[in-house]
Amino acid sequence: MVPVCAGSLGEAVHLSYDERIALIQFIRATLDEAGLTSTPIVAGVGGLSTRETIELSKAAAKAGADAGMVILPAYYAASLNTDSQQVVQYYIDICKESPIPLLLYNFPANAGGQDMPSAVISEIINKAPNLCGVKLTCGGSIAKLVRLTAEIEGNPKINEARAYPFLLLDGLIADLTPWMQCGGHGTVSGIPNFAPAASMRLWELLNIESLTAEEATECKRLQAILSNADVAAVPGGIRAMKYALNKLHGYGVAPRKPLLPLKKLEGEAFMDILREMIDLEAEYTQK
């Protein structure tokens, strides 16, 4: 399990430059104080321009980030969509200048509707050796995963050009089981913030080559409950997640404006949906 900071659920676009860097520094210091000096940090470093993203990646590296995650700039999405080579060149340029490896983050809902097809992602992978992986939070992600897995397995040069094997990450824990079965390497999800023990147990089971009947039943149960929570969290977005974090841990209910806190009735309805997951986490925390 690796901490990801200043991403979509970290309200990165509503943080100032200094706040994003301070957040990375704080997480690095906190991990080090806990003796987790080898635990890497992935930081969201996507900006609205190539220059800003490069500057953020350099500052994040100095602050203690080990890798960066980059979503497409959203403001000129319509113009970027007219020529995919602009997208390809964007990732080539930032990967060339970044002192840390970068993850390509395909999340159309937060990128002005821009959805990179697998052919474009493949081109970027082949032309940007400092790209260490992709995170796919998009429709048809399993199909893209299958195509990208075939591309990587059929082209040994992709991994030969990198210090570590190229990562194919899901953006939801809801479909982690089929994701792993189709060659994926894991997920970056908000749900482990609420259910770390249950999420880790699911991950452990999915990495066992041959499950016993009892383990297979446990795996299906974990996946079903975590999936239900994830599916509810997606439309609720940051507002719902902040409400739940405040309810469970007292972190503060208010997102950055212009987003407003959920009304109590809406928030409690969301908590009711999460109840099964909360009970599941309590069960695994006690084990």
Helices and strands (H and E) in the chain: how many:
11, 7
Give the gyration radius of the chain's Cα atoms. Answer: 19
Q: 225: Cβ–Cβ under 8 A, 6 or more apart, which residues?
A: 198, 276, 277, 280
188 is in an annotated binding site: yes
Active-site residue, 105 included: yes
Tokens of 221: 């149960």
For the four alpha carbons of 250, 253, 255 and 256, in that order, the dihedral sign comes to negative
The pair of structure tokens assigned to 108 is 């159309």
H or E, element range at 68: strand 67-71
Which of 128, 124, 125, 106 has its CA nearest to residue 172?
Answer: 106
Q: SS3 of 264, please?
A: helix
**Which of 105, 144, 242, 243 is the catalytic position?**
105
User: Which residue in 76, 91, 96, 135 is the catalytic one?
Assistant: 135
The SS3 call for residue 90 is helix
**Has 135 been annotated as catalytic?**
yes
Residue set of the binding site: 188
Catalytic residues: 105, 135
Residue set of the binding site for pyruvate: 188
